[in-house]
Amino acid sequence: MAIAIASTVMTACSLDSSEPEKPFTTCPPSGTTLYACGISHSGTRSIGNVLFTEDDIEWFNITTREIKFIDKQSGKAERHETMEPLRESVPLLAGVDFFLGGEHLFSGGVTYVGLICSQVFDDLVLCCGKIDGGVVDDGHYYLYDCYPQIPEFINDERVQANRAKRAKQWELFTDYLESKGKLR
């Protein structure tokens, strides 16, 4: 079973794809200030590859780090249906750049991970899902300082150094969301 899972992850995370990379979506609407763009596996960054904007965020929970997205069809935040396009638009282990007012927000970008990822990341990740008390919940998104979310990694000196290096940017991010009434 472990070999089958590893094989699936390796296939899903393969950097050599015979298919050309597709753009994530379209450019942000004028007036949008906070938005996230996809970075391809080849490292191509493009402001035109927008994954979501501040208009897609219903709220961000500062304690749990959960980002609740608005379901475009119903106008409400709903599980699983909310960001399916994000899962389809950005491959696991690709990068996500956050921009605020047209300026790059988090240096080094953010890695997009899911619960099947077996790699360790000591910097900011956009994680699809979490495991809480043995219960798997893959219908939510979180901005974590590292992956996986276990004390050995959370308290690692590299994770803490990256968190400290990003403190001013994190404050800008949370202050902006608070000014928009989207911070919990």
Helix (H) or strand (E) holding 176: helix 167-179
Mean pLDDT value of segment 9-37 = 50
- pLDDT exceeds 60 at position 129: yes
Amino acid of residue 112: Y
3-state secondary structure of 4: helix
Beta strands 125-132 and 110-114 are parallel
91 neighbors 41 (Cβ within 8 angstroms):
yes
Tens-digit pLDDT profile for residues 24-74 = 334 444 455 899 888 766 655 554 578 889 999 999 999 999 999 887 655
Calculate mean pLDDT across residues 156-174.
95
Taking residues 71-84, report their average pLDDT: 50
Task: Please state, for a pLDDT cut of 90, what percent of the chain lies above it.
Answer: 35
Instruction: Answer for the pair 37, 45: CB distance below 8 angstroms, yes or no.
Output: yes
Q: What is the pLDDT of residues 168-183, one digit of tens each?
A: 999 999 999 999 999 9
Quote the percentage of the chain above a pLDDT of 70.
66
3-state class (DSSP) for residue 42: coil
The structural domains of the chain, with segments of one domain joined by +, span: 32-169
